[in-house]
Structure 1
Amino acid sequence: MAEPFPLAPSLWATTAAPAPETPPLVESGRADVVIVGGGFCGLSTALHLAERGIRPVVLEAHEIGFGGSGRNGGQVIPGLKHDPADLIARFGRERGERLARFAGGTTDTVFDLIARHGMDVPHRREGWIQGAHTEAGLDDLARRARQWADLGAPARVLDKDETDRLLGTDRYLGGWLDGRGGAIQPLSYARGLARAALKAGAAIHGRSPVTALDRTGSGWTVTTAQGTRLATERVVLCTNGYTGGLWPGLAQTVIAANSFQVATVPLSDNLRRSILPEGHVSSDTRKLLLYFRLDHTGRLLMGGRGPFREPRSPQDWAHLERIVGKLFPQLDGIAFDHRWCGRVAITRDYLPHLHEPAPGLLIDIGCQGRGVGLQSAMGRAIATYIATSDADSLPLPLTQLRPLPLHPLHRLYVSAIIAWYRLSDGGIR
């Protein structure tokens, strides 16, 4: 996909820890496992495979963290879009509860990896607050908090006064707090995963786009744009929102929506203390949700949906800049020094999908905007599956590829859905 509008680099690119050396693949050879995609899932899979003594090679089309892994909001949010009761109704009690516990523990995976490998990653774990902008949203949040608390999560409902105090805005009716959530510098985290994987024995090659996957006997031949080839028994494909035509029909199973973000200039101490004063991260109950946090440099980040197409000018971020002033009147007129966007893979059922369309080829796709924790934990599960061939080690059953109907028209109907959601969500009062 094309690069975003060439403005200043993203906030994460400006403030990230240095990247490890990941030169292009220049020599053909063999690998135990070839991983296509150098984001959170690919890097976590590589790290956990290497720790098991399995030699993986990661091939990334651009640079480590180029896609959504290096362009997200850095919020580490547990769970899935579906609440535990919904998962149990869908998968049955045993599998549904197991999936809920997996999803609830994804944030632990991130912070444990940062600590265990001594990663140079600014991070904070004070919890995630979801604010409700309607009365119906309040009912949903109370039910959600109760379900997670029943599973042992540090979850509780917030009344309006506490929500106002913890968020620094009076524009929500209430909310709930999940103490498992937190924040990271996502590009530094991607680079930290890469460093840990390299140290464990993985090989990682940037600027090595894969152009073909060919079945050869009982294994695979993976070919890059440079013409180099790797022979392997196993391929893991984890390209998510930047999935192209490498495997037929895969890109048609998701909507690769663009998530836009802006960051203010560093706030003064008094302004910083007036917004998210205890260091929480937040997103709300809107269908076109807003998500916001302070970063380690004292900037306020605001994220949300923008045009489905790639941005054409700074005006494509103007709606988020206006929202900052409406949510936080104390910041009305504040300057913004970073604007960027990244693609999120959204599936029809709002669940991650695992596919095995041919022997030795495993595909992970669909992060629904919660990729930091989800894909970190998914990589560990994939590594276990590859090492043991035990399908029960995967959090979800393997399913067939099912392209979305009328996918060639997805840009049109996604744009229409976004317009409808904006109307139904209502404005920021």
Structure 2
Amino acid sequence: MPAAFSDPIWRKPKTVPAFQSELSSGGALDAIIVGGGIMGLSTALHAARAGLSVQVLEAGAIGQGASGLNGGQVIPGLKYDPEWLIEHFGAERGEALVDFAASTADAVFDLIRDEQLAVPFTRKGWIQAAHTETALKAAANRDRQWQARGADVSLLSQSEIAAMTGAKGYLGGWLDRRAGVIDPLSYTLELARVAAGSGAKIAEQQKVVKLAKEAGLWRVSTQGGTELRAKSVVLATNAYTDGLLPGLARTIVPLHSFQIATAPLPAELAASILPGGQAVSDSRRILVYYRKSADGRLVLGGRGSMALPSSASDWTHLERALLRLYPALAGIAIEKRWFGRVAMTPDHLPHLHEPEKCLLAVVGCQGRGVGLMSALGKRMASYLASGDARQLPFPLSPIRPIPFHAFRQIGVAATITWYRMLDAFER
């Protein structure tokens, strides 16, 4: 695929350190973390600060995967509302999970503040925009539940959402002021920097190809021939999960999230589009999400094809969505197009697995990965340090491959096409 068809807006600073040579030597480590995205790096940072010896092994480069390619929306909560979580998980665990879900955006913005991370960010909230009466009722129900827990949230009328977004076609919506936006690549790279500064070893270009347990320790082998030993292993590969742990890759459906960015908006347009700096996700079956970047571009993303893109036309559906929302942008150039891989679980919840003692795996971000994985990494580090499963917000569950997994992806692609057509009728 030509490089022009994967050209993200986010750019590595020239001063980014290289981690290629940061391999541990000597005896057994406390933990090896496979995957240098937000989940892996957050776990490494907090585990190192808890006094554990930690090695991160990243198959590519730090920030190369979805952690550095996403839209940078930092959204608290989960796909499900508090009452559902309590009903599904029971009163004690459900309430604890609601509290955890409420804290995930804080985990990001507190870290940026406390560590003085060089990460462009704005914390002005996130709007869930409703384009149907059904979506508006769901927003009112969500608002009622979070208001009862003291969250800084509110419903938006049709006139309020029009003023806050400048977009056309919404009946109302919901504003969560706990949320915000960041530059996700800068955040991922800064997580790596502070994790390394706290004692974690980080090695890029180290693809793990084999795990084996010997004499109570895990032996981790890389494609380049390196072998390391550790008491615990954490697989933090999410949508890039392969056959390293049997069955794990078949518990998720990997999807592509495509994004576009306009040229910097002229002042008169910038003043009318998201003037308060909020992020937005809409209520369509195949939703789009958008925000303004630090340099004044409008960045919009949504589901793309299951196949890898081969030309600029693979982003056409996003350009149509952009003009549906903002007809005034018809003359503004689309300067950047890129994509990343995300993971969907059948129940739309993160899954935590421990198929063997001290072998852990986490999959499933469900569109909230920046905050969710930052907060979950801290809890995972506490579990590594204490062995107390109560530190984990989600229960450990068995690995359950999706039946007929090979056909599930075909079905998802067909469903995306069908939902996109239904969405078009609801303009």
Which category describes the TM-score, using the shorter chain as reference length?
Answer: over 0.9
Q: Does 1:402 align with 2:400?
A: yes
The CA distance in 1 between the partners of 2:15 and 2:419, in whole Å, is 40
Matches within 5 A, 1:16-95: 16=13, 18-24=15-21, 29=26, 30-95=28-93
Q: Tell me how far 1:7 sits from its aligned partner.
A: 1.5
Equivalent residue, structure 2, for 1:324: 322
Q: Tell me how far 1:12 sits from its aligned partner.
A: 4.1
Equivalent residue, structure 2, for 1:262: 260
Equivalent residue, structure 1, for 2:198: 200
Equivalent residue, structure 1, for 2:183: 185
Deviations 1:191-215 (A, max 9, x none): 0100110111000000111111111
Q: Tell me how far 1:244 sits from its aligned partner.
A: 1.0
Deviations 1:380-426 (A, max 9, x none): 00000111111111001100001111101233111111112113323
The one-letter code matched in structure 2 to 1:6 is: A
Q: Tell me how far 1:18 sits from its aligned partner.
A: 4.0
The one-letter code matched in structure 2 to 1:221 is: R
Q: Tell me how far 1:8 sits from its aligned partner.
A: 5.9
Deviations 1:175-226 (A, max 9, x none): 0100001000000000010011011100000011111111112110001111
Deviations 1:344-390 (A, max 9, x none): 11101000010000111011111011100000001000000111111
Give 5+ residue unaligned stretches, structure 1: none
Matches within 5 A, 1:408-419: 408-419=406-417
The one-letter code matched in structure 1 to 2:345 is: T
Equivalent residue, structure 2, for 1:286: 284
The one-letter code matched in structure 1 to 2:46 is: H
Q: Tell me how far 1:27 sits from its aligned partner.
A: 7.0
TM-score (norm 1): 0.97
2:97 to 99, 113, 116: 99
Equivalent residue, structure 2, for 1:356: 354
Whether the 8 Å contact between 1:25 and 1:228 is mirrored in structure 2 is: no
The CA distance in 2 between the partners of 1:84 and 1:98, in whole Å, is 10
The CA distance in 2 between the partners of 1:18 and 1:161, in whole Å, is 45
Whether the 8 Å contact between 2:24 and 2:201 is mirrored in structure 1 is: no
The CA distance in 2 between the partners of 1:297 and 1:49, in whole Å, is 35
Equivalent residue, structure 1, for 2:208: 210
The CA distance in 2 between the partners of 1:305 and 1:6, in whole Å, is 20
Q: Tell me how far 1:274 sits from its aligned partner.
A: 0.9
- For these two proteins, the number of residue pairs brought into alignment is 426
The one-letter code matched in structure 1 to 2:287 is: L
Q: Does 1:249 align with 2:208?
A: no
Question: CA 1:80–1:66 in 2, change beyond 3 Å: closer, same or farther?
Answer: same
Q: Does 1:14 align with 2:11?
A: yes
Question: Secondary structure in 2 aligned to 1:109?
Answer: helix
The one-letter code matched in structure 1 to 2:145 is: Q
Q: Tell me how far 1:28 sits from its aligned partner.
A: 5.6
The CA distance in 1 between the partners of 2:423 and 2:94, in whole Å, is 30
Question: Secondary structure in 1 aligned to 2:225?
Answer: coil
Equivalent residue, structure 2, for 1:220: 218
Question: CA 1:354–1:17 in 2, change beyond 3 Å: closer, same or farther?
Answer: farther
Matches within 5 A, 1:104-119: 104-119=102-117
Q: Tell me how far 1:10 sits from its aligned partner.
A: 3.5
The CA distance in 2 between the partners of 1:159 and 1:17, in whole Å, is 45
The one-letter code matched in structure 1 to 2:376 is: M
Question: Secondary structure in 2 aligned to 1:207?
Answer: coil
Deviations 1:119-149 (A, max 9, x none): 1100010000000011100000000111111
Equivalent residue, structure 2, for 1:152: 150
The CA distance in 2 between the partners of 1:55 and 1:293, in whole Å, is 39
Which range moved further: 284-293 or 156-165?
284-293
Q: Does 1:307 align with 2:305?
A: yes
The CA distance in 2 between the partners of 1:298 and 1:349, in whole Å, is 36
Question: Secondary structure in 1 aligned to 2:322?
Answer: helix
Deviations 1:38-94 (A, max 9, x none): 000000000001111111100000011211101100000111111111111100122
Which range moved further: 89-98 or 251-260?
89-98
Question: Secondary structure in 2 aligned to 1:221?
Answer: strand
Q: Tell me how far 1:26 sits from its aligned partner.
A: 6.3
Q: Tell me how far 1:24 sits from its aligned partner.
A: 4.6
The CA distance in 2 between the partners of 1:138 and 1:281, in whole Å, is 18
The CA distance in 1 between the partners of 2:338 and 2:184, in whole Å, is 14
Q: Tell me how far 1:19 sits from its aligned partner.
A: 2.5
Question: Secondary structure in 1 aligned to 2:380?
Answer: helix
Question: CA 1:26–1:383 in 2, change beyond 3 Å: closer, same or farther?
Answer: closer
The one-letter code matched in structure 1 to 2:263 is: V
The one-letter code matched in structure 2 to 1:19 is: V
Question: CA 1:180–1:16 in 2, change beyond 3 Å: closer, same or farther?
Answer: farther
Identity of aligned residues (%): 50
Question: CA 1:16–1:131 in 2, change beyond 3 Å: closer, same or farther?
Answer: farther
The CA distance in 1 between the partners of 2:205 and 2:368, in whole Å, is 26
Q: Tell me how far 1:20 sits from its aligned partner.
A: 2.2
The one-letter code matched in structure 1 to 2:350 is: P
The one-letter code matched in structure 2 to 1:353 is: H
Equivalent residue, structure 2, for 1:426: 424
Equivalent residue, structure 2, for 1:341: 339
The one-letter code matched in structure 2 to 1:390 is: D
Question: CA 1:205–1:286 in 2, change beyond 3 Å: closer, same or farther?
Answer: same
Matches within 5 A, 1:223-234: 223-234=221-232
Question: Secondary structure in 1 aligned to 2:64?
Answer: coil
The CA distance in 1 between the partners of 2:37 and 2:19, in whole Å, is 13
Whether the 8 Å contact between 2:9 and 2:261 is mirrored in structure 1 is: no
Whether the 8 Å contact between 1:356 and 1:362 is mirrored in structure 2 is: yes
Question: CA 1:329–1:16 in 2, change beyond 3 Å: closer, same or farther?
Answer: farther
CA RMSD of aligned residues (A): 1.4
Question: CA 1:260–1:370 in 2, change beyond 3 Å: closer, same or farther?
Answer: same
